[in-house]
């Protein structure tokens, strides 16, 4: 059994916080990109897709901020925080894929 020093746990938490902050900046960047007039929906289908993407990014951003606050106040264990961060990254990748599909479709309209 390996014993971890408090400093290494703090270091791991700090690394997770940094990863979460970077990912949050990427979320904000994609939201700004979707808000550009260049990608405005031109038909009903694109409008619905854009609405779903915006709602997905909004929910993801809220969940990231909640986890960030819980991590800052040490209300969550390291293992739970790692699992939550990985789940959020998975949701981000899915939204990123959907955004790429929307942008491709919006340019072809």
What are the DSSP calls for 4-62, one per residue?
PPHHHHHHHHHHHHHHHHHHHHHHHHHHHHHTSGGG---SHHHHHHHHHHHHHHHHHHH
Examine residue 96 and state whether it is found in any structural domain, yes or no.
Answer: yes
pLDDT of residue 99: 94
Which burial class, exposed, middle or buried, applies to 73 when counting CB atoms under 10 A from its CB (0-12, 13-18, 19+)? exposed
Tell me the average pLDDT across 79-97: 94
Examine residue 51 and state whether it is found in any structural domain, yes or no.
Answer: yes
Examine residue 82 and state whether it is found in any structural domain, yes or no.
Answer: yes
Q: Which domain holds residue 87?
A: 8-108
> CA 86, CA 68: separation in Å to the nearest integer?
13
Report how many domains make up the chain.
Answer: 1
Examine residue 3 and state whether it is found in any structural domain, yes or no.
Answer: no
pLDDT of residue 38: 85
Is the CB of residue 101 less than 8 Å from the CB of residue 39? Answer: no
pLDDT of residue 109: 64
Q: What 8-state DSSP symbol labels residue 1?
A: -
Examine residue 1 and state whether it is found in any structural domain, yes or no.
Answer: no
Full-model pTM:
0.83
Examine residue 2 and state whether it is found in any structural domain, yes or no.
Answer: no
Q: In sequence order, what are the residues at sequence separation of 6 or more whose Cβ sits closer than 8 angstroms to the Cβ of residue 52?
A: 98
User: Residues 21-74: pLDDT tens digits?
Assistant: 999 999 999 999 888 888 888 889 999 999 999 999 999 999 999 999 998 888
Q: 């915006």: which residue's tokens?
A: 54
């Amino acid at each position: 059994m390996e014993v971890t020093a408090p400093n290494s746990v703090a270091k791991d938490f700090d690394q997770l916080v940094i990863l979460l902050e970077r990912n949050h900046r990427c979320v904000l960047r994609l939201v700004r990109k979707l808000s550009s007039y260049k990608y405005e929906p031109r038909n009903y289908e694109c409008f619905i897709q854009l609405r779903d993407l915006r709602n997905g990014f909004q929910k993801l951003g809220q969940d990231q901020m909640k986890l960030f606050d819980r991590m800052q106040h040490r209300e969550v264990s390291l293992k739970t925080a790692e699992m939550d961060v990985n789940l959020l990254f998975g949701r981000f990748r899915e939204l990123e894929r959907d955004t790429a599909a929307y942008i491709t479709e919006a340019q072809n309209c």
